[in-house]
Structure 1
Amino acid sequence: MAVFCSNCGKSLTDDARFCSACGRPIYVAAPVYVQTRLIRPREGRMIAGVCQGLANNYHWDVVWVRVVTVLATVFSSGAGLIAYIVFWLVMPEEPLALPPVTTYTQPNGS
């Protein structure tokens, strides 16, 4: 991928951190995350997996999601609890991981 300085337009190498012509730092774009469908995972959940699912999907720390949920429940007269229940009903649960299917062949015996 060709990299160009945004200040002077000089062509740079892919591993350059500064422009060799003007000295301006080169910023690499943050990695792009593909947003997937919200699901409630089976691993790491405490009650129904809503907070864990939100944290997984948006790349947040699950502890902070749980703290915000509790604070929203306490300080909004239960609106956080209602939102949690709505997410519980709307978010599908992660499908079970099934073992690979093996075909059984009858041994030829006489």
Structure 2
Amino acid sequence: MSRKLVRPRQGRMFAGVCAGLAQRFGMSAGMVRLLFLLSLLLPGTQVIICLILWILMPDEDRVRY
């Protein structure tokens, strides 16, 4: 059974993007948040990607399995 990429209701901090990615890939949400914060030290479009995922990832309540 594959896990869907959704923003969970439990464990979300800001928008739930890191928690959703962690849930999807079997990692801890804290680790994904730490990796995101460390990635901010590098040049790139991390914040824009996070905003896009926030818009595109549905809430867990709105997804039918």
TM value normalised by structure 2: 0.82
Higher relative CO (Cα under 8 Å, sequence separation at least 6) belongs to 2
| Aligned position for 2:60 | 94
Aligned residue identity for 2:47: L
Question: Displacement, 1:42?
Answer: 1.0
Q: Does the 8 Å contact 1:70/1:80 carry over to 2?
A: no
Q: Which of residues 51, 74, 77 is equivalent to 2:41?
A: 74
Segments of structure 1 that go 5 or more residues without pairing to the other structure are 1-33, 97-110
Q: Distance in 1 between matches of 2:26 and 2:36?
A: 16
Indicate the RMSD between aligned Cα atoms, in angstroms: 1.5
Structure number with greater Rg is 1
| Aligned position for 1:3 | none
Structure 1 segments (4+ residues) deviating >3 Å: none
Aligned residue identity for 2:35: V
Does residue 85 (structure 1) correspond to residue 51 (structure 2)? The answer is yes
Pairs aligned (count): 62
Question: Displacement, 1:51?
Answer: 0.4
Identity level (%): 35
TM value normalised by structure 1: 0.51
Question: CA deviation digits over 1:70-97, x for unaligned, max 9?
Answer: 12223224x111111111011001117x
- Structure with more helix by fraction: 2
Q: Distance in 2 between matches of 1:47 and 1:41?
A: 12
Question: Displacement, 1:59?
Answer: 0.5
